[in-house]
Structure 1
Amino acid sequence: MNHKFFNYLGLAMRAGKLVTGDETVLKAVRSGNAKLVIMATDASGNMQKKYRDKCGSYQVPLLEFGSRAELGSSIGKDERVLLAVTDEGFARMLQTCQAK
């Protein structure tokens, strides 16, 4: 488990640089506000296909990382399947951290 990654997610949430939920994340991707989309590894097959396609066509990086429970607890919420990072700095930190 990558504690740094989840800590950074919590920081991004407190800074107001995260949006969650299917419709909100989709809106952020379409508007260009999403700098990174994080999807739980246990998301449904339909959800995975939808966001791989959307992020691919809008050229938004997509990370599949952590379970629903891990993503939710790291931001102080119930289970979350989708998160969009709306800040370039946080997006870069999370991608770098996840790659290690």
Structure 2
Amino acid sequence: MNNKIYSMIGIANKGGKVAIGYDVTCLNIEKNKSVLVLIAADASEKTKKNILYVCDKFNCKHIEYGEKELLGKFLGRKMVSVLSVNDENIASYLLNNL
């Protein structure tokens, strides 16, 4: 099951439907582009607190899922703590399959 989630995130990234990193995710939330924010379970407490504040302020859905290294592996990076999904269909798939 986990691999399907990570694979979907990887496919979404190749399709340009994912924004990776804290700063870009915050910009997408503020511009109302972000449908869902995914926070790695092992992200730092400061990162979690800050991104949750932005999500709550702009009424954006968020979930905590996965590990930084695994997310990074499927996104072609070393580690990814925060990412933003900018597509309704992909976001609903992720929410329904977690």
Relative to the length of structure 1, the TM-score reads 0.92
Deviates further, 5-14 or 73-82 = 73-82
Matched, 1:88 2:88: yes
Structure 2: gaps (5+ residues): none
Distance 1:8 1:52 in 2: 23
State the identity as a percent.
28
Q: Which residue does 2:5 correspond to in 1?
A: 5
Structure 1: gaps (5+ residues): none
Q: Which residue does 1:66 correspond to in 2?
A: 66
Distance 2:34 2:52 in 1: 14
Question: What is the aligned residue count?
Answer: 98
Distance 1:97 1:71 in 2: 16
Specify the code of the residue in structure 2 equivalent to 1:12.
A
Q: Which residue does 1:34 correspond to in 2?
A: 34
